[in-house]
Structure 1
Amino acid sequence: MPEPKVLLLVDGSSYLYRAFHAMPDLRAVPGDPTSPATGAIRGMINMMQKLRKDVRADYAACVFDAPGKTFRDDLYPDYKATRSPMPPDLRSQIDAIHEVVRLMGWKVLSVPGVEADDVIGTLSCVATEQGVHTVISSGDKDLSQLVNDHVVVIDTMNDRRRDAAGVEAEFGVPPRLMVDYQTLVGDTVDNVPGVDKVGPKTAVKLLTEYGSLDNLVANADKVKGAVGENLRKALDWIPQGRALVTIRKDCDLKDHIPGIPDLADIVIGGQQVEELKAFYDRYGFKGLVKQLETHDVPPELLEEHRSKKRVGAGPGPGGLFEEPDLSGLSQATNLQYDTIFTWEEFEPWLARIEAAELVALDTETDSLDEMLATIVGLSFSTEPGIACYIPLTHDYQGAPDQLPRDEVLARLKPWLENGEKKKLGQHVKYDRHVFANHGIEVQGYLHDTMLQSYVLEVHKPHGLASLAERHLGRAGIDYETIAGKGAHQIRFNQVPIEKAAEYSCEDSDQTLDVHLALWPKLERDSKLRFIYDLEMRSSEALYRVERNGVLIDAASLAQQSHELGNRMMALEQEAHDLAGQPFNLGSPKQIGEILFGKLGLPVKRKTASGAPSTDEEVLVELAEDYPLPAKLLEHRSLSKLKGTYTDKLAQMAHPRTGRVHTHYAQAVAVTGRLSSNDPNLQNIPVRTVEGRRVREAFIAPPGHFIASADYSQIELRIMAHISEDEALQRAFRENIDVHRATAAEVFGVALEEVSSEQRRYAKVINFGLIYGMSAFGLARNLGIESAAAKSYIQRYFERYPGVKTYMDETRLSAKARGYVETVFGRRLYLPEINSPNGPRRGGAERQAINAPMQGTAADLIKLSMVKVQDVLDQQQRKTKMIMQVHDELVFEVPGDEVEWVRTEIPRLMAGVAELRVPLLAEIGVGPNWEKAH
């Protein structure tokens, strides 16, 4: 399925104020206060350049408020009456800002009588109807009401992303309730009154209790105290207040975008270079003129260099928007980068590599798929500033003769496969695969800068460019600079050797430099050093797992796809019969018309565009009482299963091995967990019969079996260890069903008298509290009253006081340190733990409680993976580890090793650590993955 197109909308009015206040007092003639101000123009250029670099978009517009009144002024004459007038120095720059943004390739919109927010709301609604995703760049919280599954708001200045989860975390209500929330709270900036004395906390409480503003108004007489009195006083105002804060989504934009609803008129364009050059020259932006004239330093690299120089958030020398000094870029002269074309040049470098204490190396390849990639060139760095590039298979027209790849690799193979020769890389697992594609098993990888960063600063980016900028103050050559971008991007073998050499040498050189900056920090901290060693050893084990791959039964998948297709066709007919007419089951608009228009089902929620929502949560709610939504849900789940797995898995088999080789991303999840992609093995649904059948297609070859080993109730065991709660520990030590034990404690009954329903409740409570579930969430999950849920939680903490103490102390510790730790010392940072925003702080506090358990579980499965692989190697077993999914290890086992696996794998997994409660690993064996459970 093609990736959806993206519309990028910039809140230009928000941007220009930020640019104006962030900049020093720049003038066209520096130092002359009578000269025209240019700071906001310069700041706007920087911000727009960075945004274009960071967000891929097919369509784009920068939207500004137009001068004059809007419909809101007619509704309420005091609208924005308390706002200060625009500073004259900013007003004087508006026309120039519009001009330069247009010259940079953006559609500029300023619609009389309509605010920028309303234009943005209308365009986001149009885009959604066209199947286009929308990214809105703004710091304005009001735009949060537009967020839905297809619309996200980003605040680049504060590094904030407001998707549905982000809005709820920040404000305490989902996007669908943001208009209701704003109506209650009011808007002091725009001089829109809310309900007197109702602030954010009270608004969240009221909306949580009553579900919506309409329901709150309908029950206003039931709201007690001063809040109820003030609410009743505001009843006449509330409709007007809501109209003022609601962003319109139906503005007439045809005079400004003639082709609308077709978005072709706002396709993102290229820079008008000559016109820009004249503009920059007119306003004295010499650095930008030079950039356009020489093309030596692209805008992306310039922006990276500028952020590298940032000292603080404020303006002035060294600040974010300082005119850049290009002297520190990779064009600096203190570097010795050699390009090797002959054996006479190769020999001295080989001797240097063999004699070096530590060598950084990097592969340049023709593919991002590590199982298919072949080497185009190699680079090595033996000391800071010194590197070489060996081009091997550049084959563009006019490419110079190069050394033969096979002979070069043969000469390097003894050094590469010598474990005593210490090596360093950035994401070495990928390079190991690439060398293995050429028959070389590299040994001696001692360090990986990506993993060093992952352990030291898990909450930051781990790409080499980010690391070099952050730790060295060095900006590097962007790949798109040498290879182009998008559909026009060329493969590395087509990149001119002189550019490829500088790029690759810089990679190796920077990798070595980053290592020298990060390694001392790891060496000083024994706990972080332990985690880093674990990550390095896990990288080795994961390389083996990825290399092994898993055999797929294509015939079984084809049969499943056929059956799913038939069932989907039947569901479609059943849905048509229930609707009384045919309709497109994939069209939210048509579904809405049938459910709410024709059948008159109750509207549970509305989308940002005002249409009744047909998302999964709504359909689940409706399916409890109506048959058609249930059919739609089943059709959706089968469609996803078919499109993601049964249709695609067999096609993903590697042409050489006939197996599927997933990729495990090691440095992504902040908890230390792995993520799997191409294919994603972690998202196969296992709660449905159809989902479990997919696992039947993961098979063993003849004479072999699949074995699946996983930890039992691992996070609850970790909670028992960390909290030191005696009652919880006793349940595990005495091998009592922990959910039954919890039910006995919470419901005050004997263990043998616990009913299945009470055990189910206890299971939800056990896992819910681990994930920071509130009484409201527990009540909703169990379908009970909030008071009952509060009572259950209170009794739980009375019976398990150690858990309550752990939660309280963890919150305090996290606030003091800014991070929490796993049992083994992995640091899990919590940037929002001291946020002044209550919901964001609350979310971080819940993370603080859960992260040590998730992180410790991740550490344990990695320890198991490493230990098991070591034993398999030491005993020269033929059993292969082929998958790691959550807390589970999956093996391909020859028949004569099945009994050994049944006995030894659980023993090894249970023995990797000694906690205050016993670890328990369980194993199953079968002809396929599903039967092994």
Structure 2
Amino acid sequence: MNKLFLLDAYALIYRAYYAFIKNPRINSKGMNTSAIMGFVNTLNEILTKEQPTHIGVAFDHGKTFRDEAFPSYKAQREETPEDIRASVPIIKQIIKAMHIPVLQVDGFEADDVIGTLATKAGKVGITTYMLTPDKDYGQLVSDNVFMFRPRHGGGYETMGPSEVCEKYDLSSTSQVIDLLALMGDSADNFPGCPGVGPKTAAKLIAEFGSIDNMLANSSKIKGKLREKVESAVDDIRMSKFLATIRTDVPIDLNLDELKVEEPDFTQLAEIFTELEFKSLLDKFIKKPQQQPKVANMQLDLFAENPTNDAVNADFSSFESLKTTSHEYKLIETEEDARKLFDFFITKQILCLDTETTSINPIDAELVGLSFSVEEGKAFYVAIPAEREKAERIVNIFKPLYESSKILKIGQNIKYDMEVLMNYGVRLAAPMFDTMLAHYVLQPEQKHNMDILAETLLNYQTIHIDELIGPKGKAQKTMRDISPADICDYAAEDADITLRLYNVLKPRLKEADVEDLFYNIEMPLVPVLAEMEMNGVLLDTNALAETSKVFTDRMTQIEKNIYELAGHQFNIASPKQVGEVLFGEMKIVDKPKKTKTGQYVTSEEVLQQLRSKAPIVDHILEHRGLKKLLGTYVDALPKLINPHTGHIHTSFNQAVTATGRLSSSDPNLQNIPVRGEDGKEIRKCFIPEPGCLFFSADYSQIELRVMAHLSGDKNMIEAFREGYDIHAATAARIYKEDINDVTRDQRTKAKRANFGIIYGITVFGLAERLEISRDEAKQLIDGYFETFPQVHDYMEKAKQLAREHGYAETFFHRRRYLPDITSHNATVRNFAERNAINAPIQGSAADIIKIAMIRIYERFRREGIKSKMILQVHDELNFSVLPEEKEQVEKIVLEEMQNAYTLQVPLVADSGWGNNWLEAH
């Protein structure tokens, strides 16, 4: 059976681009590949999951008949983002390499091309799917022609005639044109009838059947609506013309051309390699177990060894172990290990790596050690499984690892440091981490070795799957592999890391980030390593009690909800909640709906409806408890390491573009602060037995950084005088004595203070504070009148970013902003917000890193046995021996408050307790 898919190219390209707008995909050449990657993934998803027999991709082409008839058509649209313009020719190359026809006709939009081909295909019985998020296509749907719309959050919905009619409350799909003509379209800039929305339009169409009949009988329309319609007759008729998708475009339905065929493997591989689509190369080329069937035949693009000989040259532009000369030697005896040590101890640098049984360093056992001191030459030392023998081998190299005269080079060296800690070895400075070096140079890009080798060395490394197999029950550990088979893989890691060092080291100086790298990022590595190894202790009894209390409360809340609703339903189902609140109880007249017609029941929406019905409060409380139980209360005990009895998070140093640390497995950065229920979680984090919990938190550090950067006299004065900055802000905005500021005024000023840093808009502030836009505008205007130099700083920050292409912190940490000069306002505004915020947030992140390093070093110098156990945003937490209480507090506050000299004091608030909640 024939199955045709027609794709609306630009609609999908734009959707893909904006889906990644907050976290764009940037390759090593600085190219934004978001649109290309998103489109290719969509194309691949259709081919593999839907398995069409025929496919085509339609593009707009040239100035259209609509532009000629109505010059204002789409005139208000923002200019196409430059990254999209650069992406479209490459997307067309990929489509052509896939042997998929590019469908375009001069003077027509993609809608018209698809409309014509879909109509022709439907008439001859071909099941046709129009892939687009555009609602206009509803007019084309028929028995054989369907809309295939991407859903928010993933997946697709298939819409036939009944679905279209139900969604828009129409009796015929052809009435979609009339609906659009009455509503108008702000995106395409055609007017419609002013003051007529979708519901009114649907009522008019239901009453009159069509626009033509409505206009012929407009005297029957009542009240002001009649005036609106009769005064907009020409606009309505023009809007109908513009909204009508043509089905008579001069293009033939050529099924032979549309038939799915094998791609041009060589060309696709070349394009993907140039774009640095590593995951797509792996996905498409290397994994035969994932081969999809297309058009009932195997698509060789996904084969490991495609039959086309040219494909074997896919990676000919990359060097590899097979194409480069190298000397890798396996060391299996203690005698040879000692000879190797004697050789290394005379060197000034040592590139190192470890092979282990686990990616979790807490439980990892050493399988081998890798070393390199010269490019192309490396050694792999096999480590026996028996602990005593293993320690003997490791101890041979201990003086190397702990030497202060030898530079140790590694890729993600923190992991190697922690594994070696398990064997009584403390990796000593000086150190150089190639992952972190690349991170400070290109924070937006990926920093794993495979990517760095390909992009910086033009080299393709051996993939771990080649040794241990893909993830699954059959996956081996490195202990299951013979040392001889591991040798090349492990030695190559050390060799490549050395080569990366030689490339990256000079670039640090060129980019003026040596100080950032050598004095902040590298000294932080042992600090984080020790924190991760220390871990955090949990009061499991308290968590169990909290779980019981929360569960009992949820049960009671459920009973209350069912009683108010009149029946039981699935409270966890947004769809069923919507049907109860809006379909049955009708708590509001005009509830929000998604594009699929489902009622919106997000937390944001329900918060706004709390006063409408008691059931809303209960549902919100139920959701909150369920989230706390699932994410923390019941989940955290399962993450306790059985060998240590602690939770060991990973602090990620090379993830965020701003320089802030993040944490994972588990993410302890998101432990809730606000609300009594959230505080119950913090209560369960406790110090070591016999110790006290100490917490120190920077007070409003980002606002203090803002005061310093802007030099605003009023803000500086408020901080220097020790005022409550939010009350002081409110006093100035509302022209009140600081003692007369109300709680509401302070809250609004606080939101303005923090909102301004993140580039909040009038609309955003109005939404957040639930106030009118006029009041929000007055608040923002009042803020800038109060702190005029803050506004000057913001404008200067944007200008500097435009001049240099990046924003930077006090310590020259850069946030590259290629979109800062974009002609597209949406894209440009996003970059401008980052230009303002990156120096503030990044400088605050750098300051707490400096504080952590200095605290760690003083603890070691002064013989402090208490431990730093957690870093959460602007807060540091410690497990402290009672006899060290005063000394620890003195060290921590001194180092935090003197980490950097600002025009205003750096202040850290602190507290003590038996758990995190009491101390914070």
Q: TM-score range by the shorter chain?
A: 0.7 to 0.9
Residue in 2 that maps onto 1:450: 435
1:490 partner SS = coil
Does structure 2 retain, via aligned residues, the 8 Å contact 1:456–1:528?
Answer: no
Quick one: which of 662, 672, 697 aligns to 2:649? Answer: 662
Q: Deviations over 1:396-417 (max 9, x none)?
A: xxxxxx9953331121222222
Q: 1:787 to 1:90 in 2, by over 3 A?
A: closer
- What is the aligned partner in structure 1 of residue 418 from structure 2? 433
Give, as a single letter, the amino acid of the residue that structure 2 aligns with 1:696.
Answer: K
Q: Normalized against structure 1, the TM-score is what?
A: 0.72
Matched, 1:367 2:371: no
Question: 1:595 maps to which residue?
Answer: 581
**1:158 aligns to what?**
none
Aligned pair in 2 of structure 1 residues 795, 619: CA closer, same or farther (>3 Å)? closer
CA contact (8 A) 1:196 1:231 kept: no
Shift of 1:545: 1.2
Kindly provide the amino acid, as one letter, of the partner of residue 438 in structure 2: S
1:379 matched to 2:379? The reply is no
The one-letter amino acid paired with 1:617 is E
Q: 1:149 aligns with which of 126, 149, 153?
A: 153
Mapped to 2, the partners of 1:528 and 1:222 lie a distance apart of 73
Structure 1 residue 461: deviation in Å? 0.7
Residue 270 (structure 1) aligns with: 291
Residue 465 in structure 1 maps to residue 450 in structure 2 = yes
The offset of 1:597, in angstroms, is: 2.4
Mean Cα displacement is larger for which, 602-611 or 460-469?
602-611
Q: Work out whether 1:287 is the aligned partner of 2:310.
A: yes
Compared CA separation, residues 10 and 95, structure 1 to 2 (3 A):
closer
Q: 1:757 offset after TM fit, Å?
A: 1.7
- Which residue of 464, 469, 472 corresponds with 1:479? 464
Matched residue of 2:591: which SS?
Answer: coil
2:692 is paired with a residue whose SS is: strand
Contact map agreement 1:393 1:493 (CA 8 A) in 2: no
Relative distance call for 1:403 and 1:878 in structure 2 (3 A) is closer
Q: Is the 8 A contact 1:68 1:113 kept in 2?
A: no
Cα distance in 2, alignment partners of residues 772 and 681 from structure 1: 27
| Match runs of 1:492-503 below 5 Å | 492-503=478-489
Change (3 A) 1:352 1:486: same
Provide the rounded CA distance (Å) in 1 between the counterparts of 2:242 and 2:197: 15
**DSSP-derived class of the 1:660 partner:** coil
Paired AA for residue 129 in structure 2: E
Map Cα deviations across residues 660-705 of structure 1 (whole Å, 9 max, x no partner).
1211011001111111122211111121111101111111234311
1:549 maps to 2:535: yes
- Following superposition of structure 1 onto structure 2, how do residues 227-306 of structure 1 map, counting pairs within 5 Å? 233-235=234-236, 269-270=290-291, 285-288=308-311, 290=312, 302=314, 305=315
Contact 2:370 2:494 in 1 (8 A): yes
Cα distance in 2 for residues equivalent to 1:11 and 1:851: 42
Taking the aligned partners of 1:922 and 1:517, their CA distance within structure 2 comes to 43
**Does the CA contact (< 8 Å) of 1:210 and 1:216 recur in 2?**
no
Report the AA paired with residue 839 of structure 1.
T
What is the deviation of 1:591?
Answer: 2.1
Q: Which of 797, 805, 812 in structure 2 is aligned with 1:810?
A: 797
Correspondence 1:646-657 to 2 at 5 A: 646-657=633-644
Superposed displacement of residue 579, structure 1: 1.3
CA distance in 1, matches of 2:298, 2:891: 72
Distance 2:790 2:751 in 1: 16
Do the aligned partners of residues 932 and 242 (structure 1) sit closer, same or farther apart at CA in structure 2, a change above 3 Å counting?
Answer: farther
Corresponding residue of 2:772: 785
Alignment equivalent of 1:411, drawn from 396, 399, 403: 396
- After superposition, the Cα gap between the structure-2 partners of 1:68 and 1:665, relative to the gap in structure 1 and judged at 3 Å, is closer
Cα offset, 1:376, TM superposition: 1.4
CA displacement, residues 501-547 of structure 1 (integer Å, 9 cap, x when unaligned): 22211111111111111111213455543344201111111111112
Counterpart contact for 1:60–1:268, Cα < 8 Å: no
Match of 1:829 in 2: 816
Task: Tell me the CA shift for residue 851 of structure 1.
Answer: 1.4
Give the 3 Å change call, closer, same or farther, for CA 920–239 of structure 1 in structure 2.
farther
Q: How far is the alpha carbon of 1:799 from its aligned partner?
A: 2.2
SS at match of 1:486: coil
Per-residue Cα deviation, 1:338-368 (whole angstroms, up to 9, x for no partner): 1223345434433332222211111111111
1:335 matched to 2:326: yes
8 Å Cα contact 1:584/1:591 also seen in 2: yes
The 1:229/1:457 distance shift into structure 2, 3 A limit, reads farther
Structure-1 residue corresponding to 2:105: none
Change in CA separation of 1:193 and 1:358 when aligned onto 2, cut-off 3 Å: farther
> In the alignment, which of 597, 602, 605 is matched to residue 618 of structure 1?
605
AA partner of residue 766 (structure 2):
A
Could you tell me how far apart the structure 1 residues matched to 2:134 and 2:52 are?
A: 7
Q: Which moved more, 1:722-731 or 1:834-843?
A: 834-843
Task: Trace 1:694-705 onto structure 2 (pairs within 5 A).
Answer: 694-705=681-692
CA contact (8 A) 1:381 1:387 kept: yes
Shift of 1:881: 0.6
2: CA distance between counterparts of 1:775 and 1:903?
43
Q: Distance in 2 between matches of 1:387 and 1:506?
A: 7
Instruction: Give the Å deviation of 1:456.
Output: 0.9
Q: What is the CA distance between 1:911 and its match in structure 2?
A: 0.8
Q: Secondary structure at the match of 1:521?
A: helix
Number of the residue aligned with 1:353: 344
Equivalent-residue separation in structure 1 for 2:304 and 2:556 (angstroms): 67
**Equivalent residues of 1:196, 1:230 under 8 A apart:** no
Aligned with 2:370: secondary structure?
strand
| Equivalent in 760, 772, 775 of residue 762 of structure 2 | 775
Report the equivalent of 1:584.
Answer: 570
1:389 aligns with 2:380: yes
Q: Distance in 1 between matches of 2:838 and 2:749?
A: 21
Q: Distance in 1 between matches of 2:684 and 2:46?
A: 38
- 8 Å CA contact 2:8, 2:57 repeated in 1: no
Measured in 2, the distance between the counterparts of 1:497 and 1:456 equals: 36
Question: Structure 1: which 5+ residue stretches go unaligned?
Answer: 1-8, 19-46, 70-76, 98-108, 122-141, 154-178, 180-191, 246-266, 292-301, 306-323, 396-401
> Where do residues 630-779 of structure 1 align in structure 2 (5 Å cutoff)?
630-779=617-766
> Is the partner of 1:917 in helix, strand or coil?
coil
Select which of 113, 117, 128 maps to 1:114. Answer: 128
Aligned length: 750
* Corresponding residue to 1:504 among 483, 490, 494: 490
Cα pair distance change 1:493/1:278, threshold 3 Å: closer
Question: TM-score scaled by structure 2?
Answer: 0.73
For the Cα contact (< 8 Å) 1:604–1:618, is it kept in 2? no
Q: What CA distance in whole angstroms lies between the structure 2 residues aligned with 1:610 and 1:706?
A: 51
Distance 1:423 1:523, change over 3 A: same
What displacement does 1:492 show? 2.0
CA 1:595–1:232: 2 relative to 1, 3 Å = farther
Report the CA distance between 1:449 and its aligned residue.
0.5
Q: Deviations over 1:397-450 (max 9, x none)?
A: xxxxx9953331121222222232221101111111111122222223510001
Q: Give the CA RMSD over aligned residues.
A: 4.7
